[in-house]
């Protein structure tokens, strides 16, 4: 987000800006990026709702999806930083 010079004071705003600047522009695959709002919603539910149950299978699946998301973001960040520094 810093490389795009955009910021938000709310988590939902950051997610929206990420979708607009990285997913809509096809810098991050939309399928991979779906985990961001999904994980945020799951976190909201488990933090603020009463008696939320999360199965080990759900945790494992979410963990795999988040790992793919992080890997893709790291790859993009490396590419953007290298491009920005004129090293390519």
Please write the tens of the pLDDT for every residue from 37-66.
Answer: 999 999 999 999 999 999 999 999 999 999
Rounded Cα gap, residues 83 and 88, in angstroms: 6
| Type and span of the H or E element at 15 | helix 11-18
This prediction has a pTM of 0.82
- Domain residue extents for the chain: 11-84
Q: How many residues does the chain have?
A: 88
- For residue 26, is pLDDT > 50? yes
């Amino acid at each position: 987000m810093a490389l795009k010079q955009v910021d938000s004071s709310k988590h939902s705003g950051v997610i929206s800006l990420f979708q607009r600047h990285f997913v809509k522009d096809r810098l991050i695959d939309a399928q991979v990026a779906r985990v961001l709002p999904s994980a945020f919603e799951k976190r909201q539910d488990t933090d603020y709702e009463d008696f939320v149950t999360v199965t080990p299978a759900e945790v494992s699946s979410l963990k795999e999806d988040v790992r793919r998301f992080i890997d893709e973001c790291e790859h993009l960040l490396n590419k953007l930083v290298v491009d920005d520094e004129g090293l390519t």
